[in-house]
Amino acid sequence: MGVLKVEDLKAYYMTDIYGIKRTVRAVDGVSLDINENEIFGIAGESSCGKTTLIKVLSGMVIPPLTVISGKVLYNFKDENINILSLDKDELRKTRWEKISYIMQGSMSVLNPVRKIYKTFQDFVEAHQKITKKKDFMRKVRSHLEKLGLPREVLKAYPHHLSGGMRQRVVIALATIFRPNVIIADEPTTAVDVVVQRGVLQMLKEIQEEQKNTIILVTHDMAVHANIANRVAIMYAGRIVEEGRTKDIFESPMHPYTRYLIASLPMIGDKSDKVNIPGAPPNLANLPEGCGFHPRCPYAMDICREKVPPLIENEDGRRVACFKGRDCGK
Amino acid sequence: MISVIIKDLYRYDRRFRFAFIVLMGIVILSILSLFSPYDPSSSYQVPVNYPPSVKYIFGTNSRGQDIFWMMTFAIRNSLLFGISTALLSRVISIFVGLTAGYKGGVTDRILMSINDSFIVIPLLPLLILFSFMFKDRMNLLFLSVVMACFGWPWDARLIRSQVLSLKEREFTRTAVYSGMKALSITWREHLPFVMPIVFATTINNMLWSMGLEVTLAVLGLSHINTPTIGTTIYWVNQHHAFTAGIWWWIVAPIVISIFLFVGLYQLFVSLNKYIDPRTRLLRIGG
Amino acid sequence: MRHPFLKYFLQRVVQCLLVIFIGITITFIIPRLAPTDPVESAIARANMLGQYTHPETVDKIRKALTELYGLEGGIFEQYVNFWKRLLKGDLGPSYSSFPTPVMDLIRKSLPWTAGLLIISGLIAWVLGNILGGLAGYFIQRRWARIMGVFAMATRPIPYYIMAFIILILLAYLFPVFPISGSLDIGLKFSFRWKFISSLLKHAFLPALSLVIVGAGAWFLGMETLVSNILGEDYVAYAETAGVADGKILFRYVMRNALLPQVTGLALQLGLIFSGALITEYVFSYPGLGYLSYNAIILGDYGVIMGVTIFSIIGVALAVLIIDLIYPLFDPRVRHE
């Protein structure tokens, strides 16, 4: 069952300062089909447009970001929601109850002058009235305990907690209403490897217990390998490859995917790591045709002129390449 | 390069346009002082207390001076005063800011403690004491030097924080502010970042020092025979101009000072916005 | 250190003492650098009034004045004596109101300055911050921009000129308020309305002048702070979660923006104090500023020195108090 359908989404940043106009094509024709009860990963380097994609998916479209065309449709058991057409109040109701968001950077996501339980109170009160404070505190405490957080956390200030603790508090915040979709933006980037494991474990357990959908956005391919069911690779504002995690890692097709995977360190692998030639794309000045062609060793003439469409194979794999099944050969 | 910046700002920033026009007007007025038919230090040159007319554009005052030409001198002297105080205090604030920023550690802490002490000390009582004691020797230049000795701490802090953020970016841990090599790095790499801040703080400092000069002059503690905006108001009070109904003598310095201060401040704000790294990034890459 | 707060407390106290030390030392040095000898000029002034004094008496006067002004002995001895007398609370006698001690004169003027300063300072700070916070948050609204323009125009105007303008406009051209003084003549201190209304009427203009300039400055600072904080992660996150605008504005944005404004208040206190002094002069309001002005005219060296010393200590202590209140706002400095 599909829970989120993105149709050919185009979202650009358009600025005009001191007479200089600039258009950054952050999301340039993205289509996705995400199912219920799965962990869907979106991978790509920084400045590939994934942060912008997340903003649009959660309805946070603030100028200079503008949605040029396309649709973002959520499908929950009892309703369909076109998130771009919601007004402010509807948006507020939907966010957190149905669609929640784990933000990047646990360092500064919590209000430094507010105790943790007060932040919980703020977030909950935005959606439900809290009639009995004791009941509320009890529920929050049990929620935290289920996620392995000690109850002392509630009375503390953010600067009292370690980075990993804070990240887990943020996850607890995001799941307090048991939302249908959780969008996690680089949940493990700001923490060290040991804590990373705990965070990923927490996410996996939540998903298994609540049977919801987690959209996991990170450049770290190892994280995707760890817990994602399916992965989509993003480059220069477009999806270049998508498929089941197992398939992608065992037989990556798109040259960019191959480079991403090859750059992962593996125990026992002593070969030299290869750097992708060329530079990351400048979203304000994208090349004609396929976004990857300046760095692609297999580029043909048509790649320089036209944008390759995302074509699906029988086994559910999609690749954006004019070579189709022979992509990367 | 500077003309490009000015052209840019003039075209796109309404505030800058206003400030620029106002300040140009004021500077022109001050330059006119070079053509004054009257000597600013002499009095009773023209009939007393005439209201504004074609012959005397701003009227005349109780001391028998043409207010228009007096104001040109007043503006010129006030401006020069402000500029000289600002420049002199730049020397101290740049020195303190750079040293504290580059050396860091104990030096930084000691310098900043002294720095903050100077910020907290209420200046007016001290200046009153000073001017009172040095009444006979007081002239504008002297006052300017004294004020420069107190006008550096705020800006020293700003320069220091800029240096601190630059240090994070460019320097390795071993580069210390001593010796020729580090100096050349400072000169070539860091100065383009530090200079805009120095320039902006110069303007802010001018505002502060000119305001303080007005305050002191009104109390009779500046050099009352040198025409400045402050001393003009002093004489206005001495001759009880508003009870005598000589409103034009009051209006001239007040209106001019409002334009001067507000205009200078607008310039400061629009420059600050231009320097701000966030708008800078948006400007590059057309 | 075990307690971050204790460390913070000690740091602030040491800083306060440093300020007092530097300030008082400068105050000590200045008259001793001057070409004018206050004793000689006092004697010259007395002679100008046309009195003939026997040379022996003049010598005795000279000696007495030198001792009273603390000018005997070598520089170091003077410095030590200076501090000794300060610690006893002795600021010497006033020259023009001899033999009234300077301390008494200051004590009489202090409540007026303190009252004016505290009330107008707080009103300016609170008003400026609230309006600035709202304007920074609702930055597209018209009223926010109009307020911004107004603040831009009032903030750079020196305190003296603002006081002067208000004096002319509201006490002279449209005589709504009294031109000078602190109370109607002959009114004695009481809690009756007659007293209080007279007090308020007279204090209104000086306070208004200070508030307009002050609030303008706080407004602009807060507006900038708020627009910066709006870009902070924790604000964006709370907005994503749907927390109500009002709550975000007060609990998330302004609460955090206030922190630098409290520090700013401590740093600006010296300037605000100076502004209050000159405003008193314009309105003949009987505080320390007015006292200083009269002292200048009468050549009362003792009072000028006394006011300077007192101001430095007073402002330093006030800054210390504000610094110690700061942890109430910022839990990061508070406790383990």
The answer to whether the Cβ–Cβ distance between A114 and C255 falls below 8 Å is yes
Q: Are C120 and C276 in contact (CB under 8 A)?
A: yes
CB atoms closer than 10 angstroms to residue C165? 17
pLDDT at B171: 53
Domain count, chain A: 1
Instruction: Compute how many other C-beta atoms are within 10 angstroms of the C-beta atom of residue C50.
Output: 6
| pLDDT band, very low/low/confident/very high, at B199 (cuts 50, 70, 90) | confident
Residues of chain C with pLDDT under 70: 1-2, 49-53, 98, 185-188, 335-336
Nearest to A110 by CA among C237, C81, C129, B159: C237
Pairwise pLDDT comparison (B52 vs B144), residue with the higher score: B144
Q: How many angstroms away from the CA of A63 is the closest CA of chain B?
A: 14
Q: Which tokens go with B241?
A: 């101009």
CB-count exposure of residue C84 (10 Å: 0-12, 13-18, 19+): exposed
Indicate whether B157 belongs to any domain.
Answer: yes
Which amino acid is residue A310, in one-letter code? Answer: L
Contacts with B281 from chain A: Cβ below 8 Å: none
Choose among C144, C204, C152: nearest CA to C179.
C204
For chain B, positions 224-283, list CB contacts with chain A under 8 A: 279, 282-283
More confident residue, C2 or B85: B85
Q: Determine, for residues C233 and A103 on separate chains, whether the beta-carbon distance falls below 8 Å.
A: yes
Please indicate, yes or no, if residue B138 is contained in any of the structural domains: yes
- Tokens 């101001």, residue located: C311
CA distance A102 to A123: 13
Q: Kindly state whether residue A40 falls inside one of the protein's structural domains.
A: yes
> Which tokens hold the place of B4?
């490009």
Quick: pLDDT tens for C250-288: 889 999 999 999 999 999 999 999 999 999 999 889 899
Q: How many CB atoms lie within 10 A of CB C197?
A: 11
* Cis amide bond preceding C38, omega within 30: no
Average pLDDT over every residue of B103-117 = 89
Is residue C106 within 8 Å of C310, Cβ to Cβ?
yes
Q: The CATH number of the domain where B203 resides is what?
A: 1.10.3720.10
User: Quick check: is A156 in a domain?
Assistant: no
Does residue B274 lie within any of the structural domains? no
Q: How many Cα atoms sit within 13 Å of B51 on the Cβ side? A: 4
Q: Hey, what are A229's tokens?
A: 């069911």
Chain C residues with CB inside 8 Å of B135's CB? 36
Min Cα separation C153/chain A (Å): 24
Asked if C293 has any chain B CB less than 8 Å from its own CB, the reply is: yes
Instruction: Summarize the confidence of residues B37-42 as an average pLDDT.
Output: 79
Burial class (CB in 10 A: 0-12, 13-18, 19+), A242: buried
C241 with A126: Cβ contact below 8 A? yes
Residue B80 included in any domain: yes
Question: How, if at all, do strands A213-217 and A39-43 pair?
Answer: parallel
Q: How many domains does chain B have?
A: 1
Inter-chain touch C312–B121, beta carbons under 8 Å = yes
Record: contact C26-B123, CB cut-off 8 A? no
Give the closest residue to A291 by CA, choosing from A236, A234, A232, A233: A236
What value does the mean pLDDT of chain B take?
Answer: 83
DSSP one-letter string for A80-110? EEEGGG--HHHHHHHHHHTEEEE-S-TTSSS
User: Does B158 contact C at CB distance below 8 Å?
Assistant: no
Phi-psi region of A277 (alpha: psi -120 to 50; beta: other; left: phi over 0): beta
Quick one: average pLDDT of A269-279? 69
What is the DSSP pairing of strand A2-17 with strand A20-35? antiparallel
Tell me if chain B has a CB within 8 Å of the CB of C292: yes
Residue A133 lies in a domain: no
Identify which has the larger pLDDT, A306 or C303: C303
pLDDT per residue as tens digits for the range A156-206: 999 888 888 888 898 898 888 888 899 998 888 777 888 888 888 888 888
Beta bridge partners of A143: none
Residue A240 lies in a domain: yes
Name, in order, each residue with C-beta under 8 angstroms of A93's C-beta and a sequence gap of 6 or more.
Answer: A127, C242
Q: How far is CA C125 from CA C120, C129, C311, in A?
A: 8, 6, 21
Cα–Cα dist B154/B160, whole Å: 10
Phi, psi (rounded to 5 degrees) for A223:
-65, -45
Can you tell me the ipTM of this complex?
Answer: 0.86
Whether residue C266 and residue B120 make contact (CB cut-off 8 A), yes or no, is yes
**For position B183, what pLDDT does the model report?**
64
Whether A155 is in a domain gets the answer no
Distance from the Cα of B164 to chain A's closest Cα (Å) equals 22
Mutate to test the interface with A, among C5, C234, C334 (most CBs of A within 10 A): C234
User: What is the C-alpha to C-alpha distance for residues B254 and B252, in angstroms, rounded to an integer?
Assistant: 6
Side by side, the strands of the sheet bearing A318-320 are A99-102, A181-185, A213-217, A39-43, A230-235, A238-244, A318-320, A310-312
Residue A190's CB is within 10 A of a number of other CB atoms, namely 18
Residue B276 CA to residue C26 CA, distance in Å, equals: 37
Instruction: Give A87 to chain C, closest Cα distance, Å.
Output: 13
Q: What pLDDT is recorded for position B180? A: 46
Task: List beta partners, residue C38.
Answer: none
Rg (CA), chain A: 21
C165 near B CB under 8 A = yes
CB of B207 within 8 Å of a chain C CB? The answer is: yes
Is A284 close to B286, i.e. CB distance below 8 A?
A: no
> Would you call C24 helix, strand, or coil by DSSP?
helix
Calpha distance A241→A239 (Å, rounded): 6
Which among A18, A282, A283, A286 is the top mutation candidate for probing chain B, defined by the most B β-carbons within 10 Å of its own β-carbon?
Answer: A18
pLDDT score recorded for residue B283 = 55
The mean predicted confidence, pLDDT, of chain A is 84
Residue A25 gets the label, from left (phi > 0), alpha (psi -120 to 50) or beta, of beta
* pLDDT for B134: 83
* Token output for C176: 């709504």
pLDDT at B30 over 60: yes
DSSP C82-124: HHHHHHHT---B-STTTTSBHHHHHHHHHHHHHHHHHHHHHHH
Starting at the edge strand that comes first in sequence, how are the strands of the sheet with A80-82 ordered?
A: A20-35, A2-17, A65-75, A80-82
**Which chain B residues touch A18 with a CB distance below 8 Å?**
8, 12-13, 279, 282-283
CA distance B183 to chain C (A): 32
Instruction: For chain B, say whether C329 makes contact (Cβ under 8 Å).
Output: no
C248 touches C239 (CB < 8 A): yes
Nearest-neighbour CA in chain A from C243: distance (Å): 5
- d(C-alpha C269, C-alpha C315), whole Å: 7
Does the residue A63 lie in any domain?
yes
**What whole-number distance in Å separates Cα of residue C65 and Cα of residue B3?**
62
A-B Cβ pairs (cutoff 8 Å, strict): 23
With contact defined as beta carbons under 8 Å apart, do A83 and A60 qualify?
A: no
Burial-class residue A45 by CB neighbours within 10 Å (0-12, 13-18, 19+).
middle
User: Which of C31, C158, C172 lies nearest to residue B133, judging by beta carbons?
Assistant: C31
Domain CATH number, residue A253:
3.40.50.300
The two structure tokens encoding residue B253: 């310095």
Who has greater pLDDT, C3 or B58? B58
Q: What percent of chain B has pLDDT over 90?
A: 32
- How many angstroms separate the Cα of B5 from the Cα of each of B2, B83, B266, C22? 5, 21, 16, 43
**What is each CA distance from C55 to C37, C43, C47, C51, C197, in whole angstroms?**
18, 11, 12, 12, 55
Q: Residue A7 has which token pair?
A: 């149709």
Q: Which residue shows structure tokens 């006698």?
A: C93
What are B172-195's pLDDT values in tens digits? 444 555 444 666 666 666 777 778
pLDDT for C186 equals: 66
Mutation site, A111, A119, A176, interface C, largest C CB count within 10 A: A111
Domain that residue A188 falls in: 2-98+179-326
pTM of the model: 0.84
- Chain mean position to CA A53: 8
pLDDT at A34 > cutoff 70 = yes
- Are the CB atoms for A183 and A100 separated by under 8 Å? yes
Q: What is the domain extent for residue B157? A: 74-248
Instruction: Flag whether pLDDT at A214 surpasses 50.
Output: yes
> What's the pLDDT at C272?
94
Please name the residue of chain B whose CA is at the shortest distance from the CA of residue A285: B285
List of chain C residues whose C-beta atoms are within 8 Å of the C-beta of residue A100: 241
Residue A296 lies in a domain: yes
